[in-house]
Chains A and B, each alone.
Chain A
Amino acid sequence: MVTALDSDTELRRRAWDAAASVVDPEIPVLTIADLGVLRDVALNGTEIEISITPTYSGCPAMNMIALEIELALERAGFHRPKVRTVLSPAWTTDWMSEEGRRKLRAYGIAPPQASSSRRALFGEQAVACPQCGSGETELLSEFGSTSCKALWRCKACREPFDYFKCH
């Protein structure tokens, strides 16, 4: 016999899986679960509510991600899902999964470093080239192709690359 509790858990799992399949429109190799943007799936009666957290305050991908989640849930059979944005606790790159970091590197983006030195006003950062692995790299611009990335260059293989800023 299936109890109400079991079916609720099952529903939430299905909703989570559907939401977790949504990818970041600007980094399509990462799902929002890899990124740590997907925070919670709650079931209130028959209504399903997905909580997500923005990476950066002004990240323009958030609206797109919210829309994609609604579509993914509708496709999975959930009607009129609600997507809620939560700010606290603030998202940090430490929430990015190991799998996410590996996928980023394979995609040519250097994954974020540990966040301890973020506050240093003129701190030295060591970022390995995602192409050749060399540590001989230099920062070209703190602000790159999207708000979450910086632009770097590898001095060994001469390739420029994106670095996912730690946050």
Chain B
Amino acid sequence: MPVANIQISETPLVLYTLRRADDALILGHRLPEWCGHAPMLEEDMALSNIALDLIGQARELYSYAAKVEGRDNDEDKFAYLRDVRQYRNLLLVEQPNGDFAQTLVRQFFYSAFADLYWRAMMGSRDATLAAIAAKSEKESAYHLRHSSEWIIRLGDGTEESHARAQGAVDHLWAFTGEMFAVDDSERGLIDAGAAVDPASLRDRWLKTVTGVISEATLTLPQNNWMQQGGRAGRHSEHLGHLLSELQSMQRTFPGLTW
């Protein structure tokens, strides 16, 4: 018998919190797909460690969304009992790992944003979001350093690693615009000082990204057409495959506990 998806009362604050939680959970699920397959043991550990931080962030955010919503949802139901269209993560984080360069470029684009975002969110008027941000920004500094070093190593490495890194940059670039987009439901939270306007972070993000990319002897694409849809629940085909794995136990054995 199929397990029903949960219903969610999407107030702006619930939706806002779920979007950030989904980013962290989906990327936190993607990274450990490398565990046992990364080019070196240290990277098996590094990527899984970063994923642990992300899943920790997701848990805090889901728990807060459940509290704000005030129904009987909780962190597990948000993770396991929503279908693709109910997920609100960025398209960037659900993109497949591809080769190692593609994973690290995805991580670099996201970390460079997350680092600025969490630091700015520490000033949120929402005390819980500010507290989660204060925890997350410490971790994001490590995540950004890790991926930055790899971008330089790959870009300024061999002909092969350079070509792969450049290919990954070209491929993933169109998914970066969504990080800075704002819709009406977020506008009110930004005006109230509960959320930061991501557009205000774009120049600094571009400065960090440009600095590392050029040191890596890579170039950013000139094409600025950006892909969007994740925040509204319109996803690439990859998310469904990811969720089928993430949710298989709960969907097969409803209410299963460890």
Q: Which residues from chain A sit less than 8 Å from chain B, CB to CB?
A: 54, 56-60, 87-92, 118-119, 121-122, 140-145, 147, 151, 165, 167
Q: In the bound complex, how far is the Cα of B53 from the Cα of A57, in angstroms?
A: 5
Q: State the majority secondary structure of interface residues on A.
A: loop
Q: Which residues from chain B sit less than 8 Å from chain A, CB to CB?
A: 28, 42, 45-46, 49-57, 59-60, 127-128, 130-132, 134-136, 138-139, 141-142, 144-146, 148-149, 208
Residues in B whose Cβ lies below 8 Å from that of A118: 138, 141
Q: In the bound complex, how far is the Cα of B80 from the Cα of A104, in angstroms?
A: 39
Contact A90 B54 (CB under 8 A): no
Contact B45 A143 (CB under 8 A): yes
Contact A140 B134 (CB under 8 A): no
Taking the nearest CB of chain A, how far is it from the CB of B237, in angstroms?
A: 28
Residues in A whose Cβ lies below 8 Å from that of B141: 118-119
Q: In the bound complex, how far is the Cα of B135 from the Cα of A54, in angstroms?
A: 9
Q: In the bound complex, how far is the Cα of B141 from the Cα of A92, in angstroms?
A: 14
Contact B46 A87 (CB under 8 A): no
Q: List 30 A-B contacts (CB under 8 A).
A: A54-B135, A56-B56, A57-B52, A57-B56, A57-B59, A57-B139, A58-B52, A58-B54, A58-B56, A87-B128, A87-B132, A87-B134, A88-B127, A90-B134, A90-B138, A118-B138, A121-B145, A122-B149, A140-B42, A142-B46, A142-B145, A143-B42, A143-B45, A143-B46, A143-B50, A143-B146, A144-B45, A147-B49, A147-B53, A167-B138
Contact A58 B55 (CB under 8 A): yes
- Nearest A residue to B61 by beta-carbon distance? A57
Q: In the bound complex, how far is the Cα of B149 from the Cα of A167, in angstroms?
A: 19
Q: In the bound complex, how far is the Cα of B28 from the Cα of A56, in angstroms?
A: 15
Taking the nearest CB of chain A, how far is it from the CB of B65, in angstroms?
A: 15
